[in-house]
Every structure is written in C-alpha cells, then in structure tokens.
Amino acid sequence: MPDRIRAVTLDLDDTLWPIAPVIERAERILHEWCEARAPKLARALPPAEFALYRRSLALELPGMAHDFTALRHEALRRALRHYEEDPALADPAMDVFLAARNEIELYPDAREALARLAARFRLVVISNGNADVGRIGIGQFFAAVVNARSVGYAKPDRRIFEAAGACVDLPLGALLHVGDDPDLDVRGAAAAGARSAWINRHALPWIGETVEMVEFSDLIEVCDWLGA
C-alpha cells in the first residue's frame, strides 16, 4: 500500500500536539482578560459555563457549528450584550484566545516526522479546529491547509477530504490521512476513499466498526512505514 500513496494529509490536535492543556490554558487566559475588561460576563460565565453556552449556541446555529472561530466569536458577542458589556469587545477577546490557542508544544516526534514526510510527499492539513500552522511555526512543511472554517464542512464529511485532494490535484485513493480520532479521522477518511492511518499514542483499544487502516504509536512509525 505505501507505494500507492502520493500525498499525506494530517490532523493537527492530538496528532501533532496534545490539545487539552492548550485549550485549558487559552480558556483561562481569555477568562482573565474578561475579568479585567468585562467583569460582569466573567462573573456570570467562568470557563466551564461559557463552554456550555457555546455548545447550546451550536445547537441553535447548526450552520455555524463547524466553524469554531465564528461560533466562539458569536458566543462572546451575545454573552457580552446579554450581561450588559460592550459587544465590540468580542473582537479583541478572540485575538486573545487565538494567540493563546496557537501557543502549543509539539509531541517530541512531530517536527522530525514532518520534515521527513515533507521531503518525500506533499503534506496537507485537514483539521476541524482553528490552529494556525504558520503562527505555530510549522507552516513550511505543508503544501495546503484545509479546515472546516475554510471549506464549510467538518470531518468526517467526505467533502473536506475531497477538498484536500483537490489542493494537490490527486484522487482520494492516493492520499494517506493520518489522525488520532477513530471516527473523524480514520473512519472518515476510509469512507471518503482515502487511506487511513490511526495514531494511537496511548495504546487504546479500537472500538466500533472496523475499517481498513494502519495503526501507529507515533509519527516516526508512519515515516518508517512510508520509507520517508
């Protein structure tokens, strides 16, 4: 199978870096910013409650649910207005959150693996999130970035995988998608017609429907398997 692969698509969160500590820190920094500039909002909606508020808004606005940036911005704007703060603060609040959200620590294997893969294959990001690989300092490895915000639909929708293939002018069967999520990444890519690689860093059991895929414990194993 490796000899048929001509490009590699990569998930970001929990594939190239652990996301939970990043989001926890970004939420804390945003809340502290709100405490200083929108105290009524901060008192009413600490991070856990604001997360619930965002989720309820996603149900109310399903057309926006795939776009995490737009959804958070709208949640901030509405909450600021509701708690009698200036809704214009939503813009600088988003700047604060996104700056913190893009301060990540790569997994130890990630940078070496990206360099090895990029030397042999065209790499494309496929992400549902709002990380900015240029801001993070790894943009040079990627030929294209496809995310839910830019294309209008999220993994596991096959159209986001098709958009990635179009970026490098390749059919889905020539792509290997590498990601950590069994549903969004592995099953999503397989259903779309791409090859699937599961990054299983924590030796978790596979649960649910079985699909054709290859399993690796880290990205260096992917490089070795591909001969990169």
pLDDT tens readout for residues 137-188: 999 999 999 999 999 999 999 999 999 999 999 999 999 999 999 999 999 9
Query: Does one domain contain both 47 and 83?
Result: yes
Euclidean distance between CA atoms 167 and 145, whole angstroms = 9
191 in Cβ contact with 164 (< 8 Å): no
Could you list the mean pLDDT of each consecutive 10-residue stretch along the chain, which spans 228 residues?
89 98 97 98 96 94 93 97 97 98 98 98 97 97 96 96 97 98 98 97 94 97 96
Query: Residue 1 has what pLDDT?
Result: 62
Query: Does one domain contain both 146 and 84?
Result: no
Query: Residue 100 has what pLDDT?
Result: 98
CATH (domain of 180): 3.40.50.1000
218 in Cβ contact with 112 (< 8 Å): no
Q: Which of 11, 16, 218 is nearest to 106 (CA)?
A: 16
pTM of the model: 0.93
H-type alpha helices, 84-226 = 90-101, 110-120, 133-136, 148-151, 158-167, 188-192, 219-226
Query: Residue 63, exposed/middle/buried by CB under 10 A (0-12, 13-18, 19+)?
Result: exposed
Residue 157, both tokens = 């929708």
Q: How many domains does the chain have?
A: 2
Structural domain of residue 63, as residue ranges? 20-101
Euclidean distance between CA atoms 200 and 35, whole angstroms = 39
Query: Residue 15 has what pLDDT?
Result: 98
Query: Residue 78 has what pLDDT?
Result: 97
80 in Cβ contact with 87 (< 8 Å): yes
4 in Cβ contact with 173 (< 8 Å): yes
Query: Residue 59 has what pLDDT?
Result: 94
Residue 192 CA, chain-centre distance (Å), reads 18
Query: Does one domain contain both 162 and 134?
Result: yes
CA distances from 125 to 9, 31, 161, 178, 209 (A): 6, 29, 10, 10, 25
Of 45, 70, 101, the residue at which a domain comes to its end is 101
Query: Does one domain contain both 109 and 126?
Result: yes
Strand partners, 7: 122, 175
Of 72, 101, 130, the residue at which a domain comes to its end is 101
Taking the CB of residue 160, how many other CB atoms lie within 10 A of it? 26
91 in Cβ contact with 38 (< 8 Å): no
Q: Which of 134, 150, 155, 184 is nearest to 70 (CA)?
A: 150
Query: Residue 3 has what pLDDT?
Result: 76
Query: Does one domain contain both 112 and 87?
Result: no
